[in-house]
Amino acid sequence: MSAPSAASTAAQATGTGTGTTPAAATPSTGAATPGHSVPPGRRMVAIVVLVPLVAALALWAFAWPGARTAPRDLPLGVAGPAAAVTQVEQQLEQRDGAFEIHRYADEAAARDAIEGRDVYGAVVVSPAGPKLLTASAASPMVAQLLQQAVTEQAAQEGARVTTTDVVAGPANDPRGAVFGSSVLPLALAGTASGAMVTLLGLRRGRAAAALIGAAALVGAVAATLADSWLGVLGGHWWAEAGALGLATLAVGATVAGLAALLGRAGLGLGALLIVFLGNPFAGASSAPQMLPEPAGALGQLLPPGAGASLLRSVSFFDGAGALAPALVLTAWAVLGLTAILLGGPRERRTRPAERRAPGPSPAR
């Protein structure tokens, strides 16, 4: 047999000849291809069902807290003579658990508590009449609510209330609208960084380095825009940049870490956790105690809420109350980076399979 005939015969036997499909690779009749294992009808039904569910979840997450905004155990101080303080406490307790009352010896102690972020405001009883101390930097909405509640109560008794803003918000953002709207961009930036690291195939050390570098730049850019340009933050620039960067890193590491553990499904879970729960439950435009339970408490355990609280502390209160949110953000960042550096069980399962996969036969 000649050499060309032998080669042709071998090619036909192995199914590698030109225009010939190997028998083992030929799909059986009616079998779905590997890229579309789910029939088209079921995929269509999944889209029809899942899209309304996602829309309903988004509407619930974003609209429900706003529709149920009201004070719930809002920390409020009372200072003055014991008898007068007791009377004020009884009046405030009639508001069905709206306030959590803290007693202070005098006005100076109440001011210290406000500056330390222990309370949102305080009612000081004095012979000259009641005085209300607020902190619009902590929450313009809460400051307005306290002024309205205390003024109405005093008007019933024929008294006039003097209001003092102990820690005032920035003049360029008196209603806190800019501060409240800063949560979503940071959440989106962190989510995007985690998704890009995953989709671009970065792993372990390179993925961690990319997330840390991106977060540092996001913090610097955001601080420049919010503080240096818009003037809506009033703290030390480096502290603000650090808080913004840590919040971004916590989000990005969480998303990428979930993807390392669960594959691309982790990206969806990360987006759900950060954008659909963390952002609306952050309470940045109001206060955690103004949200319905358990949204307020849960929001402070997620990166967007913790990031907003940390940024508020370093921007307006010289770092008072910054420890708890900083620890929350650090925990999310460390857990996410650890999952990335370890590679995750899914990556450890696929790598040995890739090493065992036979390569192309050497030409003879």
Question: Would you say the C-alpha torsion 221, 223, 226, 227 has a positive or negative sign?
Answer: negative
Q: Residue 84 CA to chain centroid, in angstroms?
A: 42
What does residue 344 show for φ and ψ, rounded to 5 degrees? 85, 150
**Under the phi-then-psi rule, with left for phi > 0, alpha for psi from -120 to 50, and beta for the rest, what region is 328?**
alpha
pLDDT tens-place string over residues 70-120: 999 999 999 999 888 888 888 888 888 899 999 999 999 999 999 999 999
Average pLDDT of 116-144?
94
pLDDT of residue 49: 85
Strand arrangement, sheet containing 121-124: 99-104, 74-79, 121-124, 131-134, 162-165
pLDDT of residue 312: 97
pLDDT band at 10 (very low <50, low <70, confident <90, very high): very low
Average pLDDT of 204-221?
96
pLDDT of residue 278: 94
pLDDT of residue 55: 85
* Max intra-chain CA distance, the chain: 120
Averaged pLDDT score across all residues of the chain: 86
The answer to which of 36-50, 137-151, 297-311 has the lowest mean pLDDT is 36-50
pLDDT of residue 301: 97
